[in-house]
Structure formats: C-alpha cells, structure tokens
Structure 1
Amino acid sequence: MIENCVLINQGYKLIFDLKIWLEKNGEDEMRTTHALTLDSTTNSGLSGVYGLYGTSEWWDNIEKGNIETYIVSGVIVDLSKGNVFVDDNTMITIESDNTEEEIYEGVVFTNENLKKEYSHLYSIGNKIVVFYILGELKDKDTWNPLIHNKNGTLPITSKIYIKDGN
C-alpha cells in the first residue's frame, strides 16, 4: 500500500498489522469468528458476505474496496493510567485530526518483542494513524462508537502506526 510507504517515510513505526498477526497467531481467533459467522441460529457476528474473517477472499475484498475501510489520524492525548475501569496502558485516547471527537483505541502488541521495542511510543503527544476494516455484521442495527452513522459494522483494527512527537 502506498499509504504505508508514505507513513514510514514520515517517521511512523508500524506497531500492529492484523494480517501478519492472523497469519502467525490467529488460528483460534479465526476459527471462533468463522463458527459465529456460519452459525445461522444467531444474529451475532460478522455477516461473511465478502468472505470469512482473515481468509484470502476477505483480504481480496478489502483490497478491491468491497469491504469498507476507515482511517483515524490524530494525537494521543490520554493514557488509561489510574482508570479504575481499564487496566493501565491498555487504552489510549486519540484527538482526531479530522473531527472534534476523541476516539478510544486499545493498545495492541502482537508479541513481547514488539511491546519492548514500541511501548514507549504510546505516549501523550505522539501522532497516530489507525486503519480500520469495517466488518459487516449480521445485525444491521448494531451501533458502533467509532463511526456513528455506520450501523451494522464492526471497526476491526487493521494497522496502527505511531510517530514519536519528540
């Protein structure tokens, strides 16, 4: 993707990549998600219209634009330190460049090496870009907190890039 090269050239570090994570560690997550998608007795889960989560068909439909994506860019303005409802350093607040809203995002590391190498980047003042895949849900009335006018979708974090603001 061109966006990836541009961000890396601007000094951003790739912190999370869903495709790579699923290939290495996602067998159980994919199996569980596929089972829920294929279960016709429930209205829960992804619809599977454009392929099962994490499969090559699903990724191809993302590349073709059949599955929508969404990008949030902004600045980290808060960390979950001292929040009684959330474990320390597991959530951040992003002040979006494009809206006046604050967006809450989970802190994701796919392994301990990445955590050691990049955890310092989850700091107030650092710039962040998050790519989401908008997974179509079976339940078309489900509201999501990221894109208010997009009921029936689940924002799935695809990639996270962070740039040290110092």
Structure 2
Amino acid sequence: MSEVFMFLSLNEGGVPVTLVYQLAEELRRDPGQVLLVQSLTLDKNRPLLGLKGAFGLFGSKEWWANIEQRVMPTKQLSGVIVKTYYSGQDGDMPDNTMDLLLEGGAICTEGIYVHDEEDVGFYQVGSRVDIFYAFDPLKDKNSSRDKSGASKVVIEVAISPGSVSV
C-alpha cells in the first residue's frame, strides 16, 4: 500500500485519543498475511472459505481505495471501557478483550488491538475507544459470526490516554 489513509479523527467529540492500531501498519510488518488472505480469495477449490473479493483483493490499492471512498461498507464505533479481560484457553495471559458502553447504553464486546505491547496499558476502565471497521463480504455469507455475510475487519483503533466522563 503506497498511500496511508487516516480514518479516525484523533480529537472527535473533544476527547483526544491516541492511535494504537492501524491495519496498514500490521500488514506492512507482516506482508505474508496479505498473500495468505488473497490466495484463499483466489482459490476456486475452496468456495466456502475466505473473502469474496467484491471490493478488490484484501490489502490491494483497489481494496484500500474502496474503504477510503466508503464504497465498501464501513462503521465507526465509539464507547467507554467498562471491563477488560482475557478470553481464550491459554491461562494467565494479558487482557485481549474489552466490553464497551456505547452511547445508547448498550454493551458490546470487542478485541484489544495494539502494535506495541506496552500500549495494552491504555485499555483501562473509563477510557474512550474509537474503532473503524470495514465489512468485506465472505464467499460463504452464512459463515459470518454476526450474520452480516461479511468479515468485520478492524482498520484503526484509537484510545483516550485516561478516563472520560460518561
């Protein structure tokens, strides 16, 4: 990817936030991830696995342009952390999951994303989190967890360095 887009505002709603995750940076650090996803998309022998490629191959210039121009469905979620915890079976590990209180009062569960492990410390109860997603259609629309028919791809995550008032 030659051009990096910024999807989240770092001062939206008067609460300054710090960018702790960008998919573009993750893919720059691990370009093999792009090749794996793209090869599964192109594999005609696996018609039920992977992305459809409806908005371009994952990580391609076309794919990023379709996100930037909002041709691919996108969503921004903002909330305040009410709980962090480890979900999984590996025993004593750092927190990788959070529950967010959304503006309407609903609670949603999201993963914790960072590039640098020390940034996990930003994820504290009371901190505001902004997440920008793209919804990339799956080959098998029935395999999505939320029945949307798409993979919910986290593009960026920003978090306030301290507690905010709810």
Aligned residue in 1 for 2:40:
36
Change (3 A) 1:20 1:98: farther
Q: 1:26 offset after TM fit, Å? A: 2.7
Q: Which amino acid aligns with 1:120?
A: G
Is the Cα–Cα contact under 8 Å of residues 7 and 156 in structure 2 kept in the other structure?
no
Q: Distance in 2 between matches of 1:8 and 1:2?
A: 15
TM-score, normalising length: structure 2: 0.82
Q: Could you say if the C-alpha distance between residues 140 and 93 of structure 1 is closer, same or farther in structure 2, counting changes exceeding 3 Å? A: same
Percent sequence identity over aligned pairs: 25
Alpha-carbon RMSD across the aligned residues, in angstroms, is: 2.3
Give the aligned partner of residue 97 of structure 1: 103
Partner of 2:3: none
| 1:54 corresponds to | 59
Which segments of 5 or more consecutive residues in structure 2 lack a partner in the other structure?
1-5
Distance 1:74 1:32, change over 3 A: same
The alpha-carbon deviation at position 40 of structure 1 amounts to 1.2
1:2 and 1:51 mapped to 2: Cα distance? 19
1:20 Cα shift? 2.3
- For residues 11 and 158 of structure 1, the distance between their equivalents in structure 2, rounded to whole angstroms, comes to 19
Q: Does 1:7 align with 2:5?
A: no
Structure 1: unaligned runs, 5 residues or longer: none
Q: 1:26 to 1:9 in 2, by over 3 A?
A: farther
